[in-house]
Amino acid sequence: MASIGKVLSVRQGADVIRGGKKIRLREGMDVASGDTIATNKSGLVQLVFVDQTKIAVGPNAQMILDVSMLRGNRKAKRFTVQALGGSFRFISGKSRKRAYSIKTPSATMAVRGTTFDMWITSGDQSAMLVIEGTVQMCGRRGSCRSASRQCSLFATSPAGQVGRPADQAQYDRALQGGFPFIKSQKDLLPTFQVRAEGCSGRLARAPRIEPEQAERPDRRRAEGAQPDARPEASERNRNERSASQGRASASAESRSGASSRSGVSASGGVSASASPSGGNSGGSGPRASATAGNASATAGW
């Protein structure tokens, strides 16, 4: 067996399936390409690979490793993870970015950066939360979205599209229901812990990341309120700028109201669904939405 990494830490309730046999994982054990790592409701596994990639496998999770190393065994020629269910943290290592590929039953993710968490709830829905770097997520229908902003959350829909939560409430429910390493990092080793306070909703110590369409009008108003740096400006020019600022502020407030309404009115379903975003100011692509419900027991948010 060619080792591709090892178990740094394991909590009772985790096994490796190798050659059709189930073996209880233990600290220091080597892992190999083709291994299936599985946890029950109390299991937690933290793995480090020879290229310094790190993966934390949360409770009720399962993943298959498919890794081939380059000569010298310090970088991967191919680093593929099939995440079949549960929650994960992925921290890329020293291999080339194009070597990494994350596959789920409903999505494929290309890693272009460093750290992100995943939540696979069913065959119809996978979600990712970017903490550092850039990740591209593609659904079964070919819809792709790239996320590079910290705390960006995207998910697939039953229709095979990729979208985002329709509002802050759905975002917070997703964090509570499927991202245990955002809720608490106390069970993770220091090398798996990252600064993600801005992603944790009410408990955040850093400012909460708001939807883009809610930020832009405020930024326009803030920019419009900058003091005039030219002392020689005439009274007439100051009056003209004041009037212009008033018009820009009113226009921005109008756009802010329209954007807020469009975000709340997205269609819902039992699991996250996608609908065309129309003219929202966040850009192109679908937006995900869902009803509430017990996120820990259902595929929906």
What is the 3-class SS of 101-143, one letter each residue?
Answer: EEECCCEEEEECCCEEEEEECCCCCEEEEEEECCEEEEECCCC
Predicted confidence band of residue 201 (pLDDT cuts 50, 70, 90): low
Q: pLDDT tens, 272-283?
A: 434 333 333 333
Would you say residue 72 has pLDDT above 80?
Answer: no
Q: Strand pairing of 54-57 and 100-103?
A: unpaired
Instruction: Identify whether the C-beta of residue 39 lies closer than 8 Å to the C-beta of residue 45.
Output: yes
116-120, 195-199, 204-208 — most confident range: 116-120
Mean pLDDT over residues 78-103, rounded? 95
- Average per-residue pLDDT for the chain: 74
Q: How far is Cα 62 from Cα 13, in angstroms, rounded to an integer?
A: 12
Global confidence as pTM:
0.69
| Predicted local distance difference test score (pLDDT) of residue 88 | 98
Residues contacting residue 39 through CB under 8 Å, at least 6 positions apart: 13, 14, 15, 45, 57, 58, 59, 60, 61, 62, 86
Mean pLDDT over residues 173-182, rounded? 92
Mean pLDDT over residues 78-87, rounded? 95
Q: pLDDT tens, 243-257?
A: 455 444 444 433 333
- Give me Rg for the CA atoms of the chain: 23
- 47-51, 56-60, 152-156, 295-299: the lowest-pLDDT one: 295-299
